[in-house]
Amino acid sequence: MTFVHLRVKSEYSFLRGACRLEDLVARARELGMPAIALVDYGVLHGAVRFTNLARQYGIKPILGAEFSLPCGLPLVLLVRDRTGWQNLVRLVNRVQLARPRSDTLDMGWIAEDAAGLTAVLPAGGGETVRSRQSYIQALEQLQPVFGCEVYLGLEDGGLPGTKRQNELVAKVAEGKNVPLVATHNVHYVLPGDDEVYRMVNCIRTGRPLAGAGRSFLPGAAYYLPAPAEMHRRFAAFSGACENTLDLAKRCTFILEQEGMQLPAFLQQDCKEPAEAVLRRLCLEGMQRRGLENAEAYRRLERELAVIIPKGLSAYFLIVHDLVSYARKQNISVGPGRGSAGGSLVAYLLGIIQVDPLAHGLYFERFLSEDRSGFPDIDLDVCQRRREELLGYLRDRYGQGYVAQVSAFSTLGARAAVREVGKVLDMTGEKISTVAEALPYYAGRGGIEAAVGQYPEFMSAKLRDEDSGTVLAGARRLEGLCRHLSTHASGVIIGDGNLQEALPLCRGPAGEVLTQWDKDDVEEMGFLKIDVLGSRNLTIAHDALSWVRKRHGTTLVAEEIPLDDEDTYAMLRRGESLGCFQLESVGMRRVLRRLAPQRLEDLIHLLSLYRPGPWESGLVESFIARRHGREDMSGVHPLLTGILAETYGVVLYQEQVMQVACELGGYTPGEADGLRREMSRRLPSLQEFHQPKFVAGAVKRGLSRAEAEDVFTHLCRFAGYSFNKAHSAAYALVSYWTAYLKKHYPVEFYAALLSSGSGYYATAVYVREAAIRGVPVLPPHVNHSGLSFVPEKEAIRSALPVVRDLGARAAEALLEAQKKGPFMSLHDFCCRVGRSALRRSALVNLIKAGAFAGLGRNRRQALASLDHVLKWTDRQPGQLSLLDLMPEESAVPALPDFSWPEVVAAELETLGMALSDHPLACYKKQLQSVSREPLCNLCNLPVGTKVTVAGTVMGRTRRRLKQGGVMLTLFISDESGFAEAVFYPADYRRLLYRLDAAAFVITGKTTADGDAVMVQDIRPLSV
């Protein structure tokens, strides 16, 4: 006795269903079901993953979707064959791309695209008792379209009215000669998961969980019932359960890749084949790059011999065209990203700016004839102008031919707690306390691990009943799909209208998205372009714009000299905060130890600074060899030439490939396969490759012992090797930002601060600028704009940093500012108008010092504000009674804020202190403290006992392999930054004191030079 469920909703119905796909198919196999149908509400988000999982578990996947008919009845459409899949995709796209979006299918659409589909008209199941006439009317419309592929579905959720509804449906079926099929509206996998289902629906609708027992699908029966249970429920309806098996047998379609979906390149007024255009442009690029030599020609022919047969000529031309357009429009494009840096063709086309011949990069790391998959070409572009490039692609190839790739946003640990807390009607304070104690996990199990290890959960405030309840609920929701978002970079271009090729939908801003994420899109054969908005390219672009404007130069990023000693000296001191990829405390420590002197050193550094090399001791060995403290005696002589640039360390994947080719006799494509498998560090794979490598090496004159020695050395490091092409391109951007920081600090910091938070919060960059001699001035109504701007040798803050001053108010302020500087608070209120500014925004502007020099100090302006507002007209630009009043009327003689009050007001209104360090607020408490400046820690012997003070700029927690959790506070004082490290025992001991924003810390210096191992802390309070 078996059964096939034909009406199952998953988490990809986004907060309407709660079935996790793997749990679903695992349960179906456990219950002995031969097949199962996934029919999410009007979408096909889960189609690829569901198909793969079902096949892994030995279950036949049936694809479909559930819609609503205009009469209000639900309609399930199931795919029987490839034609049915194509038609279902078209129907789903019509629904999803319609404005406004609706799950309702137009009958005309159904009539056009019914072939290959089976229609099931389910009963209400007790949710709503449907009339006999509604079924008859629906069947009269569906039968002419679907013929014998129409079923009436029975439902039994154990609710009142179910029996009557099913009897009514059976009579209609008999009268219209339509077969019956037993269905169950599955929304969660196991009995008892109804609470999870109700919670996600409460999150979706904003309703409290209390009283939701009869909301949505009422009761607790919409789990996945066993076949025996389904047969028992529908015993009175002969053949209804057996029909599920018959229907499943006829659904033969399995979703698989049907070849690569390669786009075509559109040429204007040119009939030249794409292959010929590609070759011509490459030859022109060789002349432009000065690479007209035999080696370059051989390499070009080798690459074209792979690219052209694989049908990728158009793909390269599309990317070349996009990059060319960007450069014509002065949109910054990065020097490269990913393995595409190994392609000479990409270099000659101007897609990348790293010469693969000069850097010894392998094309086969990017693409080879032996590789079945296809590559992505990744582009970094100006973050602010990325949308212009997407618009160009849509205009060039057609709106229906271009789509952005989607991403599935899941409920992480903190988000799950916040959402569960809301539906449980808990206080915001309680929700924040629990959520902020958790790490930022996205998958299942994060909450469980944190509760068992993080000291916060041992405290009394998180061991109460409310905390336990919200955590228990959040555990059950953690990792569930929440909504669809837009992937940061992925774009696909179709060779035809994409509405015919794959399921689409609209994103948050109305953009057309694939319903599948990047992995599913690639698996189905769609070649994507990654166009990533890079904050650091925007910073470099904006800084260079200021440099040209203020200094009269014509400097562009590509012309920045790469041998500037002052830049490398700054990096050797570890002064790289704000520089791309070089910002973290750990990276700055390695910079000081590695002591870079040229661009190649930065390329090495970006490849070294990863978990694998750290844990294996590779970083220590590399630095010791670089500075001559360790010799290369362990390196086989045959490897010294290949590994000379990395001091005998196999640092790059390209080196693995070179060793395999030159010594092991591998083809470049085989060498890439070896590189991929060695990266997995599985002994079985290494044992598989050893005989082939050794045999090839012996043929090239090595003894067996030498060949085995070389292979052993390769295995030791190859698992930690990195893509040199990626590091080489990113090292260029790192160097550009470092050069600008060193030589044009005002312009650099203005661009950096305008870009918003990066690796650190904006407040950290403000302190860094001040330490480097570039003060950041408070916002001012006469001098500030929408971004941070250079002002002589300082930087003026942007208006949007003021709390409660929204974009509309800032724009109104700037519009009024065009008519001349504001002369007073009165003048400002009259010209900007009450309708644009809330009182709270005015208060914050005053406290932040935005009216400095306009007649009244902060305290006077605050005291007279209500008097001013009373007389201000509500429309800007009109004469007010206030204009007839004496300027100083009703202005009390009050002193301005004290210096600590100024700093405190900036912290309150801007979220950061500009006029002084935040420690100025604790001046009295610190007068009696003998403290060491943070910048001096690196000059003290390891283990020196010190007392320091600092404000907390960031907190990180890390679980240690040996057990326990370590806390690190990133702290700042007037002189610089450092880390305060709490090992597990001290973290637990001092936990109750860690809620403050600033501390006096006692501890010992460490070998890192910019950290204190904490022994005791004293919170500071204003």
Q: Across-strand partners of 652?
A: 722
DSSP single-letter state for residue 293: S
Q: Does the structure show a pLDDT above 90 at 633?
A: no
Residue 545 belongs to a domain: no
The residue-averaged pLDDT of 404-425 equals: 95
Nearest to 8 by CA among 52, 50, 70, 56: 50
Confidence of residue 126 (pLDDT cuts 50, 70, 90): very low
Residue 325 belongs to a domain: yes
- What percentage of the chain carries pLDDT values higher than 90? 73
- Domain boundaries, position 979: 918-1019
Confidence of residue 162 (pLDDT cuts 50, 70, 90): confident
Kindly report the average pLDDT of the chain as a whole number: 91
| pLDDT value of position 698 | 92
The count of residues in the chain is 1022
The residue-averaged pLDDT of 160-181 equals: 91
**Taking a C-beta distance cutoff of 8 angstroms, is the pair 155, 128 a contact?**
no
> Per the structure block, which two tokens stand in for 712?
């052993």
Domain end (from 842, 876, 910): 910
Confidence of residue 871 (pLDDT cuts 50, 70, 90): confident
Q: Torsions phi, psi of 493, nearest 5?
A: -120, 125
Residue 922 belongs to a domain: yes
| pLDDT value of position 878 | 45
Nearest to 167 by CA among 177, 151, 156, 183: 156
Instruction: Give strand ranges (E) for 765-813.
Output: 776-777, 789-791, 794-796
**Taking a C-beta distance cutoff of 8 angstroms, is the pair 970, 953 a contact?**
yes
Looking at 501-515, 707-721, 764-778, 794-808, which range is the least confident one? 707-721
Nearest to 855 by CA among 896, 820, 803: 896
The residue-averaged pLDDT of 320-333 equals: 96
228 with 312, same domain: the answer is no
782 with 891, same domain: the answer is yes
Looking at 78-87, 157-166, 909-918, 939-948, which range is the least confident one? 157-166
864 with 884, same domain: the answer is yes
Q: Across-strand partners of 978?
A: 971
**Taking a C-beta distance cutoff of 8 angstroms, is the pair 540, 517 a contact?**
no
Give the integer Cα–Cα distance in Å for 912 and 931.
Answer: 23
Q: Does the structure show a pLDDT above 70 at 711?
A: yes
| pLDDT value of position 793 | 95
User: Tokens 């006439």 label which residue?
Assistant: 133
Q: For residue 102, give the CATH number of its domain.
A: 3.20.20.140
Q: Does the structure show a pLDDT above 90 at 685?
A: no
Confidence of residue 62 (pLDDT cuts 50, 70, 90): very high
Q: Is 115 helix (H, G, I), strand (E, B) or coil?
A: coil
Confidence of residue 442 (pLDDT cuts 50, 70, 90): low
Q: Does the structure show a pLDDT above 50 at 50?
A: yes
Q: Does the structure show a pLDDT above 80 at 31?
A: yes
| pLDDT value of position 886 | 47
Confidence of residue 889 (pLDDT cuts 50, 70, 90): low
Nearest to 731 by CA among 570, 583, 599: 599
The residue-averaged pLDDT of 46-60 equals: 97
Measured on CA atoms in the order 732, 738, 739, 741, is the torsion positive or negative? positive
Q: Is 124 helix (H, G, I), strand (E, B) or coil?
A: coil
Q: Does the structure show a pLDDT above 70 at 158?
A: yes
Domain end (from 508, 534, 560): 534
Q: Which amino acid is at 82?
A: R
Residue 608 belongs to a domain: no
Q: Which amino acid is at 838?
A: R
**Taking a C-beta distance cutoff of 8 angstroms, is the pair 260, 527 a contact?**
yes
How many structural domains are present in the chain? 5
Looking at 249-253, 634-638, 781-785, 862-866, which range is the least confident one? 634-638
Give the integer Cα–Cα distance in Å for 76 and 41.
Answer: 9
Q: HEC states along 316-354?
A: HHHHHHHHHHHHHCCCCECCCCHHHHHCHHHHHCCCCCC
| pLDDT value of position 875 | 42
Q: Is 171 helix (H, G, I), strand (E, B) or coil?
A: helix
812 with 875, same domain: the answer is yes
The residue-averaged pLDDT of 825-840 equals: 85
174 with 239, same domain: the answer is yes
The residue-averaged pLDDT of 31-42 equals: 97
91 with 227, same domain: the answer is yes
The residue-averaged pLDDT of 882-905 equals: 74
Give the integer Cα–Cα distance in Å for 212 and 201.
Answer: 9
Kindly give the residue spans of alpha helices, DSSP state H, lying in 478-610.
518-523, 535-551, 565-572, 585-594, 599-608
| pLDDT value of position 269 | 67
What does the angle CA 215 – CA 216 – CA 220 come to, to the nearest 5 degrees?
A: 80
Residue 861 belongs to a domain: yes
Confidence of residue 127 (pLDDT cuts 50, 70, 90): very low
496 with 443, same domain: the answer is no
Confidence of residue 813 (pLDDT cuts 50, 70, 90): very high
Tens of pLDDT along 652-664? 999 989 899 989 9
Kindly give the residue spans of alpha helices, DSSP state H, lying in 898-983.
899-910, 923-926
Q: How many CA atoms lie within 13 A of 57 on its CB side?
A: 25
Give the integer Cα–Cα distance in Å for 554 and 550.
Answer: 11
| pLDDT value of position 681 | 74
Confidence of residue 874 (pLDDT cuts 50, 70, 90): very low
Confidence of residue 882 (pLDDT cuts 50, 70, 90): very low
The residue-averaged pLDDT of 1002-1012 equals: 93
Q: For residue 954, give the CATH number of its domain.
A: 2.40.50.140
903 with 933, same domain: the answer is no
Residue 105 belongs to a domain: yes
926 with 783, same domain: the answer is no
Confidence of residue 879 (pLDDT cuts 50, 70, 90): very low
Q: Does the structure show a pLDDT above 70 at 890?
A: no
The residue-averaged pLDDT of 346-361 equals: 95
The residue-averaged pLDDT of 620-642 equals: 86
The residue-averaged pLDDT of 896-907 equals: 93
880 with 942, same domain: the answer is no
Residue 244 belongs to a domain: yes
Question: Own/partner pairs for 632-636, CB < 8 Å, 24+ apart?
Answer: 634/713, 635/713, 636/706, 636/709, 636/710, 636/713
CA 636 and chain centroid, separation: 43
**Taking a C-beta distance cutoff of 8 angstroms, is the pair 283, 42 a contact?**
no
356 with 429, same domain: the answer is no
Tens of pLDDT along 289-316? 999 999 999 999 999 999 999 999 999 9
User: Tokens 């569906």 label which residue?
Assistant: 142
What does the angle CA 305 – CA 306 – CA 312 come to, to the nearest 5 degrees?
A: 115
> Per the structure block, which two tokens stand in for 276?
């010929």
Tens of pLDDT along 186-228? 999 999 999 999 999 999 999 999 877 777 888 788 999 999 9
Residue 769 belongs to a domain: yes
Q: HEC states along 968-1017?
A: EEEEECCCCEEEEEECHHHHHHHHHHCCCCEEEEEEEECCCCCEEEEEEE
149 with 210, same domain: the answer is yes
Give the integer Cα–Cα distance in Å for 6 and 29.
Answer: 15
Give the integer Cα–Cα distance in Å for 437 and 966.
Answer: 14
Domain end (from 210, 232, 250): 250
| pLDDT value of position 238 | 92
Confidence of residue 922 (pLDDT cuts 50, 70, 90): very high
